[in-house]
Amino acid sequence: MKKRRQKSFWKGLRYAVFLLLLYILQGLVFSHFKIFGYVPMLFSTAVVGVALYDTITTAAAFGLFAGILCDVSANETAALFTVLFTVLAVVIKLLSESVLTRSPVTFCAASLAALLLCAFVQMFYLLFFVGADGDALMKTAGAQTLISLIFLLPIYPAVRFLSRQNA
């Protein structure tokens, strides 16, 4: 029982360090040094990776804390990403246990879907309640998604490494 608790502690610590690194990159570095004027969304792809390759409890916890950090870095007060990433992690995990294969292609496809979902959720209020220009919002969402897809390359091996360390 003691070894199991130690293993859980180290697993949580590794994921916490990974989340902190993502937070520093997304919230501090890329908010000041934008890529072509856009801030990439790093947390959603990491949530997808953890959901594909780790347990449902780990995925849900990772999604919850990733969402909290994303809300903090994006100055969201409505806990938008906290709910979105937690639900996303659980849904991806359930799909990976029944329908999805655990492969790099699945990771890329699910990450793209998660990025598009995040973009839609971010622009929903502006589009339907503020009446912002839909074309400008779609251009911004598309560019942010494309910029974010670049970061699949370093996030995938990091998530695979973390999930293998926890097995």
Q: What is the pLDDT of residues 63-88, one digit of tens each?
A: 999 999 988 887 766 788 999 999 99
Exposed / middle / buried, residue 61 (Cβ in 10 Å: 0-12, 13-18, 19+): middle
CATH code for the domain of 80: 1.10.1760
- Rounded to the nearest angstrom, the gap between the alpha carbon of residue 142 and the centroid of all alpha carbons in its chain is 17
pLDDT surpassing 80 at residue 167: no
Helix axes 2-23, 56-73, angle to 10 degrees: 30
Residue 150: the pLDDT is 92
Domain that holds residue 143: 2-165
- Mean pLDDT for 146-166 is 89
What is the rounded average pLDDT for all residues in the chain?
A: 88
DSSP 24: I
Cβ atoms of 137 and 123 closer than 8 Å? yes
The confidence score (pLDDT) of residue 166 equals: 58
**Residues facing 38 on adjacent strands:** 35
Q: In which residue are the tokens 């994303």 written?
A: 70
Q: Using a cut of 0.75, tell me whether the model's pTM lies above it.
A: yes
Question: What's the domain count of the chain?
Answer: 1
Length, in residues, of the chain? 167
User: What pLDDT does residue 165 have?
Assistant: 72
Tens-place pLDDT, residues 88-147: 999 999 999 998 888 999 999 999 999 999 999 888 887 777 777 878 888 888 899 999
